Structure 1
Amino acid sequence: MARYLNTFTKQGILVERQRWRGGGGDWRCTCCGKLLGRIENGRIRILVSRSHPYLVSAPVTSVCRGCGALNELTRLP
């Protein structure tokens, strides 16, 4: 289920952004806490860019885009 949030840019322009609200949990980096993926319906949804989502099953390994730490999810919570 999507939800729209009104935010402002640095220049003060109002922007309406879509925010994903699902029933699953978040998969976050163990080092910096950056969002790596979302758990939904028994799979992990990884969004590489806005137009390239991937649905993968556990176990999955990913490198954090923020700090470069290696993260592994061996089974779903």
Structure 2
Amino acid sequence: MADQKPTFEENLQQLEDIVNQLEKGDVPLEQAMSQFQAGVSLAKELDKTLKEAEAAVAKVMTEDGELKTFDPNADAK
């Protein structure tokens, strides 16, 4: 069975766990540095996922089936 990529929620939970451990301050320096690096990597992955979702949501389907970028000010004119 192939390894599945963790979900957004799983990555977020892992990042929260890392932050909680680091905030306690009782982690050896080497382990803290490793966790910090993992946290930064997770944060970048989460940011990428959010930006992709935002881009997908920002598209709307026109009446003829074409995708276009959503413009919230288009109806205000």
- TM-score category (smaller protein): under 0.3
TM-score normalized by the length of structure 2: 0.23
TM-score normalized with structure 1 length: 0.23
Q: Which has the larger radius of gyration?
A: 2
Higher strand share: 1
